[in-house]
């Protein structure tokens, strides 16, 4: 399959949303480690590979990662990814993480607000690989 071929059969995107917990906070002020966002991108990539190839595949490399806004414990993050190019075994993907609800501890210990529009906290591009012998689709 040539690069770009097969996009018509590829899932358009996958998305997950979850709340960052106190366990995710790695730095002072309940700041969440950027690696946690990259782990979410890895989970989204895995879903896309399973849907496309019938196998979890492997994340080979990030080409670019840009952290654009902080994420804190209590924030709700929506991580989305999509396949933009398909090679023989490689799948190029684009990712975006958005904060859709922000914790507001300065207003009260359980205060939060919906962000409209959401705040983009990270964008990344990367390549995943599904070895030929592992593909089931």
Enter the CATH code of domain 7-134: 3.10.129.10
Rounded distance, CA 137 to CA 117, Å? 38
Splitting the chain (137 residues) into consecutive groups of 10 residues, what average pLDDT does each group show? Answer: 56 90 90 96 96 93 97 97 94 97 93 97 97 80
Rounded to two decimals, the pTM is 0.88
The token pair that represents 91 in the structure block? 């799948």
Which pLDDT belongs to residue 124?
98
Which pLDDT belongs to residue 136?
79
Which pLDDT belongs to residue 86?
93
Residues 107, 23, 25, 72: what is their CA dihedral angle, to the nearest 10 degrees? -40
Q: Would you list the domain boundaries of the chain?
A: 7-134
Rounded distance, CA 90 to CA 8, Å? 16
């Amino acid at each position: 399959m040539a690069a770009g071929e097969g996009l018509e059969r590829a899932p358009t995107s996958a998305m997950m949303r979850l709340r960052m917990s106190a366990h995710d906070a790695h730095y002072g002020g309940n700041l969440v480690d950027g690696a946690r966002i990259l782990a979410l991108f890895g989970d989204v990539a895995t879903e896309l590979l399973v849907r496309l190839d019938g196998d979890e595949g492997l994340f080979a490399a990030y080409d670019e990662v840009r952290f654009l806004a902080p994420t804190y414990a209590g924030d709700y993050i929506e991580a989305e990814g999509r396949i933009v190019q398909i090679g023989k075994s490689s799948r190029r993907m684009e990712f975006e993480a958005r904060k859709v609800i922000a914790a507001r501890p300065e207003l009260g210990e359980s205060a939060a607000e919906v962000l409209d529009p959401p705040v983009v906290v990270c964008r990344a591009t990367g390549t995943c690989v599904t070895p030929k012998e592992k593909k089931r689709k």
